[in-house]
A = this chain, B = another copy of it.
């Protein structure tokens, strides 16, 4: 594939400024590619899938930044249908590695994301075997398109507050769905505004005059014959958003909409024809789906956004030259400025930290899943839930912030959509809100941490990820020179100490408020800022520790990832210096050592920076950036792309209407 070729570019030779960066990497780039992919086999599969996609014009994103909203939507539907077709033709196995890679590569650009990733899994997870047999084949074949209608105009993360009702009607023996208020209309579901003909609707179930809580119902919302909206139903697009231009997020109101009794997803609870409500077993296992979704978001959406932003910004920073660094010499590459290194290279380190964390979390998920399915043992679920909630919050926060740092570090060109960076930002920040608003997530993790503190007091054993809460903790950092901070145990201990202290302090505050007679809910609210911080510190420790453990497992490529691990850990200490100095765990002098050591690392990582981002191995088509291509020809490509902007082709009506006469009158005066 040409974009990996060392000497070729559509503009002739590779830009010499970027070419020289690749001359002598300190590590084997292909080995790092394999590590990131999870093995050389997976690298091969991924590349073959990329080849299929990139050589298919339907998937081309060439003019994406110029399309209107309806054009974006249409292209997304076309692509989704085409991909499904193509996968059949190529004989890719359902949910096999090729298909997974294809969804990962294209998923963010195609329609039916909610259909594939939420509607379908919900039926599989909550439906009976008969329901699965009926709906899943149709859905997999896009003969029906379904949305998942949970969030309402007035309620998001707080599910118990949802207002939509599904009332069992004993005379007609079916459910009647209603949207009682404006605030209770479904709002945000993807694929709803224009595509879906079915919806899984989350509603409060009422039978025999009693509310039975939230349940899921399959509701047909549009005609299969002519796609018209069915009686009693109101649907629309919720209008333009900051990103997700291709998605038809919609609203849904229902007025006395009757659906058959069989349309309640009934694996775990059922309403019989006389209206009796029967709960069968626990739907706790369904939490696993939610956790899986969160983990998938971390690796697929968050880490990939930050890694792309790093590729673009770092490549651009070696072809952009600005100002004299050394008087009288050629202008310097901007990546040679310490301030630019300080912006970008920690983001690169963060990408690796989050990537490895996502892998470990996924492994933990799988393990818990097996425990539950084989032994019915769900004892690890609370720990998994707490970890995934807190990490989703922390990682979405730092990937969002990181992408924006990369974007701004490209100056004016980072503000052009053609750089690819604005789209990465406006996309990734959405994840701070969806699948659980970050602050709510942090406080859920904090609740788990507080329970663990109680266990410590009672001498009960703790889950592995929080076992440090019952361990003795060092009170002072023992570092004496800057090299000491390149020893992983040194910074792991620091992060552990910080998490330990912040969690305990939050616990102490809660307890003392409680003891002074403050009601529990007031105490919780009054401590919530501190609790959220405690969660962040806990997750930060977990991420650092996990990074260090990964480094140990990879002897072949250790040096480069160790360097990134050190950079991640030391940057975190500097950014959160107050936490480490607060109780004298570190001294100002030690912080100076961290500082010095971090600056040394910047200079080291700088040398390999281009090769490291090359190892993310994105084809240019996936970056879709005029300034981040492999060949380094940023200016030529910006110019070429800009000329294609539709505004350059159209007649200037504003001139004709408002300016022409005035301008002509100036002719005689000049």
Q: B337 touching A525 by the CB < 8 A rule?
A: yes
Q: B161 touching A225 by the CB < 8 A rule?
A: no
**Band of interface residues on A:** 35 or more
Q: B337 touching A528 by the CB < 8 A rule?
A: yes
Q: A331 touching B415 by the CB < 8 A rule?
A: no
Selected contact of A526 from candidates B422, B599, B657, B664, CB within 8 Å: B599
In the bound complex, residues from chain B placing their C-beta under 8 Å from that of A81 are 658-659, 662
Interface residues of A in 605-620 (CB under 8 A from B): none
Stretch from A91-99, A201-209, A320-328, A352-360 contacting the other chain = A320-328
Q: A411 touching B339 by the CB < 8 A rule?
A: no
Q: Which residue of B lies closest to A84 (CB)?
A: B662
Q: A143 touching B591 by the CB < 8 A rule?
A: no
| Residue A653 lies at the interface, judged by CB distance under 8 Å to chain B | yes
Q: B338 touching A145 by the CB < 8 A rule?
A: no
- Complex CA gap A67/B574 in Å reads 45
Given known contacts A193-B647, A639-B182, is B588 in contact with A660 (CB within 8 Å)?
A: no
| Residue A437 lies at the interface, judged by CB distance under 8 Å to chain B | yes
In the bound complex, residues from chain B placing their C-beta under 8 Å from that of A66 are 239-240
Selected contact of A138 from candidates B73, B138, B437, B670, CB within 8 Å: B670
| Residue A10 lies at the interface, judged by CB distance under 8 Å to chain B | no
Question: How many Å from the CB of A532 to the closest CB on chain B?
Answer: 6
Interface string of A219-248 (1 = CB under 8 A from B): 010001101000000001111111100001
- Complex CA gap A111/B654 in Å reads 11
| Residue A374 lies at the interface, judged by CB distance under 8 Å to chain B | no
Question: How many Å from the CB of A220 to the closest CB on chain B?
Answer: 8
- Complex CA gap A147/B619 in Å reads 38
Q: Which residue of B lies closest to A342 (CB)?
A: B529
| Residue A516 lies at the interface, judged by CB distance under 8 Å to chain B | no
Q: Which residue of B lies closest to A640 (CB)?
A: B182
Q: B77 touching A659 by the CB < 8 A rule?
A: yes
| Residue A154 lies at the interface, judged by CB distance under 8 Å to chain B | yes
Q: B647 touching A153 by the CB < 8 A rule?
A: no
Given known contacts A78-B654, A158-B331, is B237 in contact with A645 (CB within 8 Å)?
A: yes
In the bound complex, residues from chain B placing their C-beta under 8 Å from that of A194 are 647, 652, 654-655
| Residue A468 lies at the interface, judged by CB distance under 8 Å to chain B | no
Q: B185 touching A639 by the CB < 8 A rule?
A: yes
| Residue A641 lies at the interface, judged by CB distance under 8 Å to chain B | yes
Interface string of A631-670 (1 = CB under 8 A from B): 0000110110111111110101111011110111111011
- Complex CA gap A236/B78 in Å reads 31
- Can you report 13 A-B residue pairs in the complex whose CB atoms are below 8 A from each other? A73-B654, A143-B665, A158-B323, A224-B666, A224-B667, A227-B660, A237-B648, A239-B418, A337-B528, A343-B439, A414-B433, A577-B577, A578-B580
Known contacts A251-B642, A338-B528, then 17 further A-B pairs from the complex at CB < 8 Å, ordered by chain A residue? A66-B240, A73-B654, A81-B658, A143-B663, A161-B322, A227-B652, A238-B638, A238-B645, A239-B647, A240-B416, A241-B416, A242-B417, A337-B528, A414-B433, A574-B578, A581-B588, A584-B588
Residues on A close to B: CB < 8 A? 65-66, 68-70, 73-74, 77-78, 81, 111, 138, 141-145, 151, 153-158, 161, 182-183, 185, 187-188, 193-195, 197, 220, 224-225, 227, 236-243, 248, 251, 320-327, 331, 336-340, 342-343, 404, 408, 411-412, 414-418, 422, 426, 429-430, 432-434, 437, 439, 443, 519, 521-522, 525-529, 532, 574, 576-584, 588, 591, 599, 635-636, 638-639, 641-648, 650, 652-655, 657-660, 662-667, 669-670
